[in-house]
Amino acid sequence: MMDAGRHPLIEVITNAEVTGMSGGPGDFRVQVRKHPRYVDEEKCVACGQCVEACHIVQGNEFDYNLKARKAIYRPFPQSVPAAYVIDMDHCKKCWRCVKVCEPEAIDFDMPARDYEFEVGSIIIAAGFQEFDASALGNYGYARFPNVITSLELERMLNASGVTKGHIVRPSDQQTPRSILFIQCVGARGEGGRPYCSRFCCMNAVKDSLLIRQHDPEVEDITILYTDLRAFGKGFDDFVRRSFDEQSAHYLRGRPSKIEEEPGSQNLTVFVEDTLEHQLKRVPADLVVLSLAAAPSDGAQALAAMLEVGTDQYGFIARRDPAVSAVETARDGIYVCGSAAGPQVIPDCVAQASAAAARAQMFLTGSRSADEKQEVEPLDLSGSPRVGVLVCHCGINISGVLDIDDLTASAAQIDGVVVAAEHQFACSSVGQDKLIELVKEHRLNRVVVAACTPRTHEPVFQETLSGIGFNPYLLEMVNIRDQCSWVHATQPQEAQQKARTLIRMGVARAKNLKPLMEGKSPMTRAALVIGGGIAGIQAATDLAWQGFPVVLVEKTGELGGRLRAPNLKYLYPTMQPAEKVLKQKLMRLKDSGARVLLNSEVEDITGYVGNFEATLSGAVDEKIQIGAVILATGADLYDPAGEFGYGRLTGVITSEELEQRLCHKPAAVQVNGAPPRSAAIILCVGSRDEECFSGCSRYCCPTGIKQAILLSEQGSDVTVFYRDIRTVSIGAEEMYRKARGLGVLFVRIPDGRKPEVLGTEKVTGVRCYDALLDRTLEVEADLLVLGVGMRPLEPETSKFHDILKASLGLDGFFLERHPELAPVETSVEGVLIAGTVQGPKDIVDTVAQASAAAAKATVFLAHDQVRLNPTVAVVDAEKCRGCGCCAEICQFQAPKLVDDGSGVFIAEINASLCKGCGTCASWCPSGAISAQHFTDRQVHAMIDAFFETEAAR
Amino acid sequence: MTKAKTTITDQPVTATGTETWQPRILVFACNWCSYAGADTAGVGRMEHEPHFRMIRVMCSGRIQPAFVLKAFEKGADGVLVSGCHFGDCHYIFGNERAVEQFDKTMNMVKLLGIEPGRLRLEWISAAEGIRFAEIINEFTEQVRQLGPSPLSSKRLDDLRIEEEIDG
């Protein structure tokens, strides 16, 4: 959020709505009305004095009214912009806030402002709103105080939230001893919503673990569920952790009603335990409703304004839900995240990048931020002349600490030539003061004692850079977040701590060295490895933007698993896969990407911006590229020996069934006739510690799609499943359709496997059905095994070796961060698209491929790579060439090179180094130094701590 | 909320005229998780013990034995090394290196005759403000119970006084 707020090319307009739109792709005109916040964002320094002054107390919407706010408030602590807003419905215009506002930011007469923007494309990321739980009377929400929603719980669990992470009952503010979660409230057929909200299962599991951590007083946590939908990467392992730690008791069933005991206001939940076949009354001190996601109130109007339409539930409609998560009915308008239906965060982030990739096709003009004007660097040589600026932060710091004392004590430190204070160092006036100090006192080191460097260091660095002052000669001392805010009740100790911290900061500042940002050239071209749907999409997106792209495919044809005869229909729309592939290939052809079939990548050397790939096959050449997208896909599990596969006729995999469907006529036959009965066993090779502990995600909807196809051609179909995880768009509806057609669903109990009957050919399947509490034996002429995905070998190992990108424990490529960087790897400039990162279906694969393309353009848009100077450097004199650094670095930055005389020494590539400094502490000869966090700087700080504070 | 008096000097904080001993603790924190966790404690105004000072590095993998030993040499009564939880490291496996460094450091600390309870390794995420505050409180109390470090000037002063009395 802060990155977006600070980006020079992003203008954030809050408190605003779209009021009109005209034009078309590449040339939209959008009208926006910004409602007044009555506080000038430019002037407000977020000091909070107005809030202190205001005497009107309201419920805070962000905390679901569990916490109070004033009529002038910040919606939540990290809000962007960091400015207050006035709730005019409740403000009495008493002027108290105006009187205390030093920057004079408050304006009661602020008008609404209308804007018109000319834009090439539009992205809808308007989110969702939670289902209104009071619509379902049987759960007693809003009637019983101790029935709360998952979002209210979330606010309590938040460490900086309402109850600082502790769970309390709204009725008596006591810690509940028993908590019961009800899943699927307003979802999967309830409250008129057939779809699954995707995030609630994992959220309840996570909450149970968190509550256990925070509140040992909570004795019982029960989760009432229908299917545990842990479909994402690593989700099943997370659930297993919950089982292992016994964080919750899982009970399969939906409650019929909740009753409240008068007086104690304890609750009783009536539910049928469908696994134990018992009606149960579960007592609970607190009930949490896991709410479904609903379309936001404004979605309909927004969709109408932008002429994109909504789907049957009221979410922004996707043009093609089987293939593209981000395309709307109109070119140039894209959607991402939960505006188009409920999503988990990793998928939201991937879709957001995908939408950005598509949006770029209609953008012209400046891609990169205007290059900063080069400023003549100041001469900062000579012995350290340190200036210290102590910030009051309104009353945030000065309310606890004595600022005069801090400046006076700082002024006495050796090397400090001036110590000053300011009300708000980060305000424009404060920044001017800083510049004035630097110039007047010819400072060559600056210490700002204020808030956290994590948010404000860039602000001060930018100011200093603006006058040619090397930004790496700045040190920030955190006397707010880590001092005045947390030691307010012990002001004397806080004062002592602040003094010491400033001394430590000055000590480090004196040892700081000016660092220069390096630059290395960027080859503005990309290599895409793998010609399946992911590779096709990534190459198309990049080539349409005008970047040279080489797409390398080892077989003689593009299309991977979409190619006939591998896949017949795509769920949920039942479009023929062949047709979709044809369209994608046409777009690829038009894009101008260079396609090399029957070719392989032999080797890749270099680093971001400067890779060299050696190709073989159709061509033998070396190509230069700036970024690599890995889209080699996944393999399917081979069930040889299991469930009679390979031994009994009539036992086939889900892929083989697709292949048979591709034949003409599109019918599945067993011994020349359509099967009278068919069985489908899911989770073959998935959710199994022995092969792949995770969920393969695509098999539930695929199995159900196949069940429908078989059922429609006259077979009696039984599906054996563990949890039905129909989480993709339209999949839950398919599940209902299948049940409507008479497909029988049998739940496989945990730890057991169905038994396949027959000697030469399959005749049936026997399995204990936990829901019916008896062993079922069903006839089956055909048995289809829903096989999971697994890493494709040898490709995965080969590219792991060549690129050094990390693999996860599951053997798939590891994303740099599941939420923040789902398509990036540990190697900068190497991106992953599709199932190479883990099992997923086509729509998610395509979104991820576009996301990878978008991330590649982040590099390719510039003709140079900016190199962060806070990296590790090697002192060649001291290096003994042991190679320890190269061994431990995850980013392949250090390398042993011949120094010309046959002696090997380490060299660190600044383009690859992330600056963690681990090698510097690891180096046995002390040859590596972590710039900006050198041994000397750290030791100086340690010295300063203990010199300042004499023994007590 | 009372304001500190301007007369505070660098002299030890005293209560009722006699010196109350408080431990001096150095905390090393990584930029991405544990330092951010301390900030989160701040945003949530989670009060905790004030007797520690923090040094920020980019990754817990940067925290080498020499830093910790130096702190003890200079008189630290306790040292806390903190980083991201496993799997959360911004640099993938930096925290696993930190563990190896920490184990080495712990061995040396024991060799030097410093109680192992004075050195601790903790994982704190950016969201875990409460956890940060709790760990600080708990560790401060633990170090307080151990008393001044055998290497601190306080302990050396006490020794000198004892010697004078004995002699």
Closest residue in A to B42 (Cα–Cα): A481
> A493 at the B interface (CB within 8 A)?
yes
pLDDT interval class at A373 (50, 70, 90): low
Instruction: Check CB contact under 8 Å for B6 and A165.
Output: no
A476: tokens are 């920030």
| Separation CA B142–CA A100 (nearest Å) | 44
Residue type, position A891, single letter:
F
Shortest CB distance from A918 goes to which of B53, B67, B94? B94
> A452 at the B interface (CB within 8 A)?
yes
Residue A572 reports pLDDT greater than 70: yes
Q: What is the DSSP string of A318-342?
A: PS-TTT-SSB-SSTTEEE-GGGGS-
> B66 at the A interface (CB within 8 A)?
yes
In A804-891, beta strands by DSSP E? 830-832, 864-867, 872-874
Closest residue in B to A924 (Cα–Cα): B64
Q: If you average pLDDT over every residue of chain A, what do you get?
A: 91
Burial of B165 per CB tally in 10 Å (0-12, 13-18, 19+): exposed
- Cβ neighbours of residue A624 under 8 Å, at least 6 residues apart? A523, A525, A610, A611, A612
Find, among A469, A475, A511, A506, the residue nearest to A935 by Cα: A511
* C-beta of residue A239 within 8 angstroms of C-beta of residue A206: no
Residues of A within 8 A of B86 (CB-CB) are none
Find, among A227, A243, A229, the residue nearest to A771 by Cα: A227
> A485 at the B interface (CB within 8 A)?
yes
Instruction: Check CB contact under 8 Å for B19 and A952.
Output: yes
* Fold: same for A130-293 and A638-788: yes
Closest residue in A to B127 (Cα–Cα): A159
| Separation CA A579–CA A839 (nearest Å) | 23
A192: tokens are 């008129």
Q: Across residues A68-94, what is the average pLDDT?
A: 87
Shortest CB distance from A165 goes to which of B56, B57, B130? B130
- Write the CA distances from A318 to A124, A301, A303, A327, A328, integer angstroms: 11, 16, 11, 6, 5
Q: Across residues A678-689, what is the average pLDDT?
A: 94
pLDDT digits (tens, 9 = 90+) for A841-880: 999 999 999 999 999 998 998 888 888 899 999 999 999 9
* C-beta of residue A533 within 8 angstroms of C-beta of residue A584: yes
For tokens 């400094």, the residue is A917
Q: Mapping DSSP to helix (H, G, I), strand (E, B) and coil, where does residue A522 land?
A: coil
pLDDT digits (tens, 9 = 90+) for A247-269: 999 999 999 999 999 999 999 99
Radius of gyration of chain B (CA): 17
* C-beta of residue A35 within 8 angstroms of C-beta of residue A112: yes
Find, among A719, A639, A729, the residue nearest to A686 by Cα: A639
* C-beta of residue A618 within 8 angstroms of C-beta of residue A514: no
Q: Tell me the CATH class for A526-633+792-865.
A: alpha beta
C-alpha A617 chain-centroid distance: 38
| Separation CA A577–CA A843 (nearest Å) | 12
Residue A722 reports pLDDT greater than 50: yes
> A949 at the B interface (CB within 8 A)?
yes
Q: Across residues A235-250, what is the average pLDDT?
A: 90
- Cβ neighbours of residue A176 under 8 Å, at least 6 residues apart? A146, A167, A168, A169, A218, A284, A285, A286
Q: Across residues A912-930, what is the average pLDDT?
A: 94
How many residues belong to chain A? 952
Kindly give the confidence (pLDDT) of every residue in chain B, 167 residues in length, as a single tens digit, with 9 standing for 90 and above. Answer: 444 444 333 444 444 444 689 999 999 999 988 999 999 888 778 899 999 999 999 999 999 999 999 999 999 999 999 999 987 788 888 999 999 999 999 999 999 999 999 999 999 988 788 899 999 999 999 999 999 998 877 677 777 777 777 65
Closest residue in A to B49 (Cα–Cα): A487
Residues of B within 8 A of A946 (CB-CB) are 24, 71, 74-76
| Separation CA A319–CA A338 (nearest Å) | 16
Q: What was the pLDDT predicted at B12? A: 44
More confident residue, B159 or A540: A540
Residue A540 reports pLDDT greater than 80: yes
A708: tokens are 């429908």
By percentage, how much of chain A surpasses pLDDT 90? 73
A142: tokens are 């809003």
| Separation CA B9–CA B13 (nearest Å) | 9
Residue type, position A75, single letter:
P
Instruction: Check CB contact under 8 Å for B39 and A930.
Output: no
Q: Across residues A433-457, what is the average pLDDT?
A: 94
Cα torsion through A862, A864, A865, A866, rounded to 10: -100
Residues of B within 8 A of A933 (CB-CB) are 57-58, 62
Residue A1 reports pLDDT greater than 60: yes
Residue type, position A98, single letter:
V
Q: What was the pLDDT predicted at B9? A: 39
Find, among A476, A386, A500, the residue nearest to A941 by Cα: A500
Q: Mapping DSSP to helix (H, G, I), strand (E, B) and coil, where does residue A14 land?
A: coil
Residues of B within 8 A of A485 (CB-CB) are 42-43, 45
Kindly list the domain boundaries of chain A, sorted by start residue: 2-121, 130-293, 386-487, 526-633+792-865, 638-788, 868-947
Find out if CATH 3.40.50 is the number for domain A386-487. yes
Mark which residues 826-865 of A lie under 8 Å from B by CB.
826
| Separation CA B4–CA A48 (nearest Å) | 21
Residue A568 reports pLDDT greater than 60: yes
> B1 at the A interface (CB within 8 A)?
yes
Q: Which value does ipTM take for this structure?
A: 0.90
Q: List the Cα angle B130/B136/B76 in 5-degree steps.
A: 160
| CATH number for region A130-293 | 3.50.50.60
Residue A881 reports pLDDT greater than 90: yes
Can you identify the CATH homologous superfamily of domain A638-788? Answer: FAD/NAD(P)-binding domain (3.50.50.60)
A181: tokens are 């979660």
* C-beta of residue A297 within 8 angstroms of C-beta of residue A129: yes
How many residues belong to chain B? 167
Q: What was the pLDDT predicted at A231? A: 92
> A95 at the B interface (CB within 8 A)?
no
> B145 at the A interface (CB within 8 A)?
no
What are the beta bridge partners of residue A86? A72
> B18 at the A interface (CB within 8 A)?
no
Instruction: Check CB contact under 8 Å for B3 and A494.
Output: no
Residue A950 reports pLDDT greater than 70: no
Q: Tell me the CATH class for B22-166.
A: alpha beta
> A640 at the B interface (CB within 8 A)?
no
> B93 at the A interface (CB within 8 A)?
yes
| Helix intervals (H) in A841-934 | 842-860, 884-888, 918-922
Instruction: Check CB contact under 8 Å for A485 and B43.
Output: yes
Q: Tell me the CATH class for A868-947.
A: alpha beta
Residue among B56, B68, B122, B124 with most chain A CBs within 10 A, to mutate? B56
Residue type, position A812, single letter:
F
Q: What was the pLDDT predicted at A103? A: 85
* C-beta of residue B85 within 8 angstroms of C-beta of residue B33: yes
pLDDT digits (tens, 9 = 90+) for A382-406: 999 999 999 998 788 998 999 999 9
Residues of A within 8 A of B69 (CB-CB) are none
A330 to chain B, minimum CA–CA distance in Å? 39
Closest residue in B to A870 (Cα–Cα): B58
Instruction: Check CB contact under 8 Å for A481 and B39.
Output: yes
Q: What was the pLDDT predicted at A847? A: 96
Residues of A within 8 A of B101 (CB-CB) are 921-922
Mark which residues 25-64 of B lie under 8 Å from A by CB.
26, 31, 35-36, 38-48, 50-51, 53-59, 61-64
